[in-house]
Structure 1
Amino acid sequence: MTGPSGVPIVLVTGLQFKLMTVLTLTAGTSFIMWLGEQMTERGIGNGISLIIYAGIIARMPAAVGKSVQMVSSGDIPIIIIPVMLAMMFGVIAVIVYFETAQRRIPIQYAKRVVGRKVYGGQASHLPLKINIAGVIPPIFASSIMMFPATIGTFIQVDWVQKAAASLSPGTVFYYMLYVVMIVFFCFFYTAVTFNPDEVAENLKKNGGFVPGIRPGKKSAEFIDKVLTRITVVGAIYLAVVCVLPTILVSNFNVPFYFGGTALLIVVGVAIDTISKIESHLVMRNYEGFMKAGKIKGRH
């Protein structure tokens, strides 16, 4: 096995090395998963997402230094840097907008008289995020897309090498399949984590209903219809954010983390963590650290 420069990565091969590699990777993965679960249970936010977030942030200073070095040596024009920075901030603005966007379904609660007290009668809403799946679809899609290239490094067969080359980043087929995988995992993860039938049943038990829609099955069908529509928008948004900046960056050959997937993970995890910290502060009767305004969804 050799690296991109042709230098051997593994100096000593054999069964012992293979067993040690499998054992090390398995133990390391198990430890990271355990650490992520501990962070989720005892901390704030999703542990695995925070670990990925920290890994991306830790590599940014080196990438910035390499970009400055390439500009000073004349490998890339200096005018490219402001253009890429403008594109990065534009992508961040789009991510923040869509990650906080919601489709609010109005909910009305029927009045109930218990003794001398009247309960219910107030109006509320059911917030549905445009991107319920979050950063999971691009993470799953990129992990699966890396599998053929990994297999190609171990199996030195002609047709396997050709298949791995056609699925390597930068090819048209790679980007097409990447978009399909992102859209698939958007719908798959949304279907796994959000059950319209269960939501409609809970509303019915609590005396809530959607105005103009019968409680029960009709409400579940209406919620599912709305959820499908906003998931389509969310899937298109994820595909554009993850693929388009990567294509532009690959053409400019800039070694910086302007890629849409990395920005999506960083911004998405930051927004989620800030929202959870804010909710914990509010639960404990604190004002929160964002006095100018809370993070609110757009509807």
Structure 2
Amino acid sequence: GIVAGLPSAIFNTVRLMQAGEITLFLLLFVMAFMVAILAFIVYMERGQRRIPIHYAKRMMGRKMMGGQTTHLPLRINTAGVIPPIFASSILMFPATLASFSNNEILSKFSAYFAPSSVVYNVVYVALIIFFCYFYTAIMFDPKGISENIQKQGGFIPGIRPGVRTREYIDRVLTRITLWGSLYVAAICVLPMILIAQFNVPFYFGGTALLIVVGVAMDFMGKIESYMISRQYEGLMGKGSKVRGR
């Protein structure tokens, strides 16, 4: 539904240009801003903090196991698009109650939370930051991860296994979640500010952009995985033919 609205958005923009309501400079600014926002979203969604993990060597039977180095990837935006969806749903609740009631106090209260108001944007940003931390805490368990690393004989260089590892992972995750929540809040609020303050014809909200980019990146990742698996199967097939000869 989000991508399906693109043709109508382009048509409305052309109609506004013909009517003289927007200038060519403003249109070029919007297009450049869109490209910059999309590039920034892709960069942040792919961004991650990699914590190095070393595995000590140990004997299992007659084989020497371990001695490898890997990493624990922590995404900047672990929560995804869930925080802005929850935040917008909560902020829509007063307006929904006001639509079913003729209460004057409730109507005035809901007016403060109009999408173009300063109060709405401030509360929206605060809720996004809160839900980013809340959802990340649900999705990511530093205690369980530290225990699994310790059971497999791994350790983070300079950090003791166990409680210290859990505290270190939790501290790093808290820091990158702060930057991730600020990034999500900026993406969601900037389009509304451009529409409300500068009357810019920005037809897609920040949540919609996050969803579209996330789906596109997931789709491209699946295609890449499929192509790699096909190449691997082709190599295995050639190898079996060579052995058969």
Q: Which residue of 2 aligns with 1:96?
A: 42
Corresponding residue pairs, total: 233
Letter paired with 1:224:
D
Q: Percent identity?
A: 55
User: Which of 161, 165, 168 is the matching residue for 1:215?
Assistant: 161
Q: Does 1:226 align with 2:172?
A: yes
Q: Does 1:130 align with 2:76?
A: yes
1:204, distance to aligned residue in structure 2 (A): 0.9
Q: Which residue of 2 aligns with 1:195?
A: 141
Q: 2: CA distance between counterparts of 1:118 and 1:107?
A: 18
Q: Which residue of 1 aligns with 2:58?
A: 112
Change (3 A) 1:283 1:202: farther
User: Which of 83, 86, 91 is the matching residue for 1:145?
Assistant: 91
Q: 1: CA distance between counterparts of 2:123 and 2:167?
A: 31
* SS of structure 2 residue aligned to 1:79: helix
Letter paired with 1:149:
A
Q: Which residue of 2 aligns with 1:253?
A: 199
Change (3 A) 1:286 1:62: farther
Deviations 1:97-142, CA, capped at 9 Å, x for gaps: 1100110000000111112210000111101011101111112112
* SS of structure 2 residue aligned to 1:72: helix
User: Which of 211, 221, 230 is the matching residue for 1:275?
Assistant: 221
User: Which of 4, 17, 20 is the matching residue for 1:74?
Assistant: 20
Unaligned runs of 5+ in 2: 234-245
Q: 1: CA distance between counterparts of 2:70 and 2:168?
A: 17
Q: Does 1:264 align with 2:210?
A: yes
Letter paired with 1:257:
Y
Q: 1: CA distance between counterparts of 2:25 and 2:176?
A: 38
Deviations 1:6-34, CA, capped at 9 Å, x for gaps: xxxxxxxxxxxxxxxxxxxxxxxxxxxxx
Matched-pair contact (CA < 8 Å) for 2:30–2:202 = no
Unaligned runs of 5+ in 1: 1-54, 288-299
As a proportion of its length, which structure holds more helix?
A: 2
The TM-score normalised by the length of structure 2 is 0.89
Q: 2: CA distance between counterparts of 1:277 and 1:106?
A: 28
Matched-pair contact (CA < 8 Å) for 1:71–1:77 = yes
Matched-pair contact (CA < 8 Å) for 1:107–1:210 = yes
